[in-house]
Structures are given as C-alpha cells and as structure tokens.
Structure 1
Amino acid sequence: MKILHVVPSFVPCFSAGGVVNAAYQIAKKQVEQGHDVSVYTTDSCQERLKFENNYNVDRDGIKVFYFKNLSNSVKNRLTIDTPASSINYLKKTVNNFDIIHIHEHRHSLAIATHRYAKKNNVPYVLQAHGSVLPFFQKEKLKEIFDKIWGFDILYDACKVFALTEIEKRQYLEMGVDESKIEIVPLGINLEEYDKLPEPGKFKSKHGIQDDEKVILFLGRIHEIKGLDLLIKSFNKVSNDNLKLAIVGGDYGFLSTIEELIKDYKLEDKVLFPGVLIGKEKQEALVDCDIFVMPSRYESFTTSGLEAMACKKPLILTKNNHIHDWVNDNVGLVCDFDENDLSKCIETLINDEELCREFGDNGQRLIQKKYNWNVIEKEINGIYSTCLH
C-alpha cells in the first residue's frame, strides 16, 4: 500500500509529545512490512527544525516532507500551524496514495488533507490521540474550529481510532457513527527493549547515589501533566533517600514548578535532565524505581508503556484513561490529590515485592498486547476495510 501520514510535528521533535512518537513508530513498522510510506508534517519544534531541503527527507525509509511554518513562535505560543506551501503540494499529490492516516484533527494540515482527500475520493482514517473533545485549553477556539472544519473531518473519515473505551465514548459524544470507531491502543517497539543499558548509568551521570531511590516523570513539562501535584506529593513522602527526576522539555510550566521546589526547599532532591531519547531515556527508565504520571488529563501514557517494558511499576491518576487496567495490575492509581498520590508513592517505595510483581505483569502485557508488531497488523486490517 501507498500510505500517507499527516501529523503536525514529527521526528526529531519528540519533545512535542506522544503523538510524534506514535506516528513515527507506526510509519516505521509499515515500512518494515514493505509498504510505501510518506509523512506530511511541519518544521516546527521548540526550535525550528532545519534541513538542507525540507522536502523528501528519508527517515528509516519513511519519506518525510517538512513543510515550513510561516511562524514557529505562533505555532509554539498558540498551537497554530501555518504551512502555506503544503496546500498546493497536497492538491498535486493526494491521488498518489491508497490511504491517508491523519493524526489529531485540529490543525491546518488536517483541514487541507480532508479537503483534497474528499475531493479525490481518497479514503482516510483519523486518530485523535485523546483530543476528540474541545476541553482543557482554548475551548472556545476549538468549538469554533469544530463548527467550521472539525466535525466534517471527523464525520468524513472512513474509520476513527480510539485509544480506549473512554475515547470511544468521546467520539460518540461528538456524533461519530459507532460503526466507524475502532479501538486501537498505542504500543512500543519491542526490539528496542531487547538489550537494555546496564543499571547505574543515569544515576552516575546525575550524581545520584547507588542506594538512593528514584521517582521518574517522563513527558512534557506542561500544566496538563500535573507536575505541581507531583512536587506537593513528593514533599509529603517521608523518605530522605529519594530523588525525583523530571525528564522532558518545558512547555510553559517549568517556572511554576521551580517556584514550588524552591518553596519546599527541594532543590537538592529534584533534578531536570532535559529531553532524553534513545539509550539515554532507557538509562533513566532502568535506574528508576517508580514511574509516575500525575496528569490532569491523559488519554494514554506511552512513556508508561516504556517503563513497563523495563519492568517498572506505574502510578497514575484516575484522570488517565488507562487507569482501569493499570490499577493493582501493573501499578497503583490515585485521585488527583496530593495526599493520595504521596500515599501511593510511599506504598511502592516500601514494598519491593509488590514493585517486582507489578513490573513482571507489565512486561508480560507489553509482549502480549501493547507493542507495534501486534498493533500494526490491526491497523493494516482496518486500512483494508477502507479500500474495499
């Protein structure tokens, strides 16, 4: 098949969140299976991506077209893409593809893709990645977008992908026909976890003693991730032999949590290694004792899957859509409450046997269900139904 993925940001901009990694992993796996795969995206990241030629960059066999945004700062401040040159290019090339896979739908590339795909009868699937409903930030702007473009993009899709049952209900709330909704989770690339780094490398790089335990957050430093709750909860944990590592890029919330850290006098307990990818990210996962994602809202937690692959227990808030299969199986789930979260941290820090049980369960679940080998086959089967 000739497959086109459309996504607002793409590798190497992993700091933009899990959508980037998911689109990359799906596309890479499809290339490995012999498909002809292209990606249309933009050159935006925290710092604008630069290439000798923004068009036709080869990434692991994926043909990636990085359309230039007119303003990278507007993209970062307002989350508005302005890839003007993409419109004519889409118009000329949309017929080259058998199927199109749109990731998220409230962005200008999705608007143009919907327009020309529909005009040329090219089927597309839509994967909202947790952004189906217009909430949390810029609600009014999202509602306006939906009235002008968003509902049409949703309704005209051949199929829409929900990460969980909760997201399926959100599609239904938006008026999408139930027959079009397929539940397709996220996963990880199992091969990347065949040979993990030796323990101790992350600790050594960041001055953490061998006997100190590490709580790890891995994601964007953004208000939605609940890092203020994590700092408050960490402050309540009665364990002097504990460090908190907050790994990720700043998306406007770093100064807030730095103030909290200063207020609680936790400067020597909390570290910020920045954005880590590849082996450096795995070093952090190998050396942590507990993975925590304290989100205000979260549809899925890819970094949590990576922790599971490294046999680490999870702690999530009930705001995470995957909490139902995480709780008392691969980790603990808490209310969005500092006392409840600190209690969960203390429970796992003081119970190594429970941590091992959760870690073993998590690794088995990854191997059985949440990996791209399994998920790519599911996606390929859904594509096929759209081509008949």
Structure 2
Amino acid sequence: MHPSNGGPCQGIRNAIPYFQKAGITTEVVCMDDKRSNYPVTDDFTIYKVGSGKTSYQYQPELLKWLKNNILNYDFVIVHGLWQYHNYAVYKTIKLLKKQNLKIPKVIIMPHGMLDPYFQKATDRKWKALRNELVWSLIEKKCISQANVVFYTCEEEMRLAATTFKSYSPKKVFNVGYGVQIPPENKESLKEDFYKIYPEIKNKKYLLFLSRIHEKKGVDLLINAYNELFQKNKDLPDLVIAGPTTSDYAQQMILLASNNPKIHFSGMLTGNAKWGAFYNCEAYLLPSHQENFGIAIVEAMACKKPVLITKNVNIWSEIYEGGGGWIVNLEEKNELKNTLLKIINQSEDELTDKGLNAFKTYQNKFDIETCANKFIETLNNI
C-alpha cells in the first residue's frame, strides 16, 4: 500500500471514502513491512503482515492472517495476479469450503496483468515463460474459482480473454475506475511544487509523472525530446517526476544528462503533485502498456490535455472526447512529431483540449460514479 508502488494502491485509496459513504467498511491487508510508514495518512485499517520473499512475494504470515480473519468479511477483493497473495486467498477459500462454512465472495481485479503485452514483449521472454508456468499451476485455478473478475475498462476486459487459452472465469464485469476530483487550483499548490523543485519556477514545462520504468516509455520520450531540442532550444522544459532510485531511473538521468531542459524532480505527492499537474502545458505518458493510468486521469481532472499511446487501455475514451493525442509507437517518429505538434499549439488550443479532457473525466472517470457502479455490481453477484 506504499504510494510508490503505483496505481492500484491509489485506486484503493480513491474508492474507499465512497464505500464508507455507502455504509461499507473496507479494510486492507498487504505485504508491507510491519514497521513501514507511508507518506500519506489513511482513515481506514491497513494490516501489514510483512514483506514477501522473492519476486513472488511469498509470505506465510498472510495465509495465517487469512485463515484467522477471512470469515469476518462479506467480500474479498484480490488486487493483481502473479504473486502469492492470490494463491493464499484461493487456498484459504478451498479449505473453508470443506467445512461447509458461509464464506465470503471472492472478486479478482487483474489491473491489466492479463494483458497479452506481458506475454509478447520481446524483453520479457523469460518472464513470459514463468507466467505460463504459474498460470497453469495456480492462476487459472484462482480465476476459475473466484465468483467474478472485475475489469477497469472494456479494452482491459477484451484483451484479458485473448492471453491464455484456459481462461475461464465464472463471470466478468467492467466496473470502471475513477479518481477523486483534485483540490482546487490555488497558488499554494504551485508554490509547494516549486519548494521541492525550484529550478522549474516560472518556466513552461511538459510533465511526465509516473514510475520511471521500462514499460512507461521514458527512454522514448527523452530521445524524442532530445531530437527536438537539437533544432529548437526554446522548447518548454520537460519534468520527469517519479522515484529515481532504480537502476533504470539512473540510466534515464544519464540519457538526459546533456539536456539542461530535462528535470528529474523525484516522486511528487500531495499538494506538490497537484501543483505540478495544474501548471504543466500537457501531461505525457508514452507507455508500452497501461491498464488504466491513474495519473493520466488525474491530469485530465486538472484540465490538462494528455499524450498517451494506443497501448493505454483507455485511449479510445480519450480520443473520442478530444482531450489528448494518441500515439502509435510502431510508427517511426510519431512520438516526436506529436510532441512538436503540442509545442506548436497556442495557449487557447491547449486550454480547449484540456477542457475536453476534463469533460471526459467527468463523464467516464469520476470516482463517485465508478464507486457506485462497483457497489451496485457487488450487490448483484
């Protein structure tokens, strides 16, 4: 549940206030270190059972916790696949069924982890083989036993059915996914961002805000921006916001080291994050695969146009709403040419596109609407 772990953690935090409003008590069990602290304050209960071992995150304390506590709940929602937590729920439910007890209903949310990209990407051959093995031994059983599988958008649900031949869930639903309305745009938000990264003060900039990971296309973005910079030194600056401790992030810092207009701000949270969104010209995420992209929708909620790729599962909703630019990464130079198009647009054109993005957020990705749909679906399974 540490915010640095990406979208699902934030998605849970976005939805819980609306579950509480509907009279639903929600608690979270996770495999974070029991002594770990988060840079955010949560008003719901989080049980930390300890970090797991290996990339599979094996943690026997989770199984013990589930056996002792799972009957306290009406529903168990499993977020993500390919790690021990999914098998632990499966094993616990299997044991309880033998005792003829009233067991909670199990919902699995893959969060894009059944996307065929992960089995087809050329740099994931060994991981794809591992997934095939784990699928045949564990995950297909978990999917088949669950009462229902929830997806965050139509494209995710469609793609998930194409990845493994033995995919056979009992039921599937698109329940949507949303983000909360951001805080009102005030001068204090901007100042909080400038306190963290004063180098960007009073400059126009484009914003990448996400994990700095191979999947996110950060290298493609830096290379395209560097090419444009060679011909035009007056570009808006480029701010890359995300944790910089990984080896890949350090490689990206090196890749950008000769360009004084590329800035790495580190991870942004709270007011500083919203300040970065509100004051950028546009938000950029040229990802190789994105199930939903919470940061994309957060930018849209701040009335900012977004550049994404056709590998982001909500691209068609954004395209239809006119709130951004959709790049096909298979087309050479399309990312660079789209960046140039953004740079050459007037302030009025960017403002209009940002308003379109905000309308799409209101119509498709408002958290209250999505949370209500989620609750309604729960009540009917």
Q: What TM-score, normalized to structure 1? A: 0.85
- Structure 1's unaligned 5+ residue stretches are 1-9
- Matching of residues 1-388 of structure 1 within 5 Å: 10=1, 13-43=2-32, 50=36, 60-69=42-51, 71=53, 74=54, 79-120=55-96, 121-133=103-115, 134-135=118-119, 136=121, 137=124, 138-173=127-162, 174=164, 175-177=166-168, 180-190=171-181, 192-198=182-188, 200-201=190-191, 202-203=193-194, 205-210=197-202, 212-237=203-228, 238-250=232-244, 251-262=246-257, 265-266=258-259, 268-327=260-319, 329-336=322-329, 339-351=333-345, 352-386=347-381
2: CA distance, partners of 1:222 / 1:325: 25
Name whichever of 321-330 and 374-383 sits farther off: 321-330
Per-residue CA deviations over 1:167-205 (Å, capped at 9, x if unaligned) read 212332245457711112321112x33454557433574
Q: When you count strand as a share of all residues, which structure comes out higher?
A: 1
CA apart distance, 1:70: 5.1
Q: Secondary structure at the match of 2:352?
A: helix
Q: 1:5 — aligned with what?
A: none
1: CA distance, partners of 2:7 / 2:283: 16
Name whichever of 358-367 and 24-33 sits farther off: 24-33
Task: Give the direction of change, closer, same or farther, for the CA distance of 1:292–1:327 in structure 2 (3 Å limit).
Answer: same
Task: Give the direction of change, closer, same or farther, for the CA distance of 1:194–1:177 in structure 2 (3 Å limit).
Answer: farther
2: CA distance, partners of 1:89 / 1:186: 28
CA apart distance, 1:228: 0.5
CA-based RMSD of the aligned residues comes to 2.4
Q: 1:6 — aligned with what?
A: none
Task: Give the direction of change, closer, same or farther, for the CA distance of 1:118–1:361 in structure 2 (3 Å limit).
Answer: farther
Counterpart residue type for residue 245 of structure 1:
V
Q: Does structure 2 conserve the Cα–Cα contact (< 8 Å) formed by 1:197 and 1:282?
A: no
Q: 1:7 — aligned with what?
A: none
Per-residue CA deviations over 1:307-328 (Å, capped at 9, x if unaligned) read 1111111011222122222237
Counterpart residue type for residue 160 of structure 1:
V
2: CA distance, partners of 1:378 / 1:43: 29
Q: Does structure 2 conserve the Cα–Cα contact (< 8 Å) formed by 1:291 and 1:307?
A: yes
1: CA distance, partners of 2:189 / 2:18: 29
Identity over aligned pairs, percent: 23
Counterpart residue type for residue 280 of structure 1:
A
Q: Does structure 2 conserve the Cα–Cα contact (< 8 Å) formed by 1:43 and 1:66?
A: yes
Name whichever of 131-140 and 195-204 sits farther off: 195-204
Counterpart residue type for residue 126 of structure 1:
I
Q: Number of matched residues? A: 356
Task: Give the direction of change, closer, same or farther, for the CA distance of 1:70–1:291 in structure 2 (3 Å limit).
Answer: closer
CA apart distance, 1:234: 0.6
Name whichever of 163-172 and 94-103 sits farther off: 163-172
Per-residue CA deviations over 1:87-146 (Å, capped at 9, x if unaligned) read 111111111110111101221111111222344332111111110145243111111111
Counterpart residue type for residue 87 of structure 1:
L
Q: Secondary structure at the match of 1:37?
A: coil
Counterpart residue type for residue 239 of structure 2:
A
Counterpart residue type for residue 330 of structure 1:
G
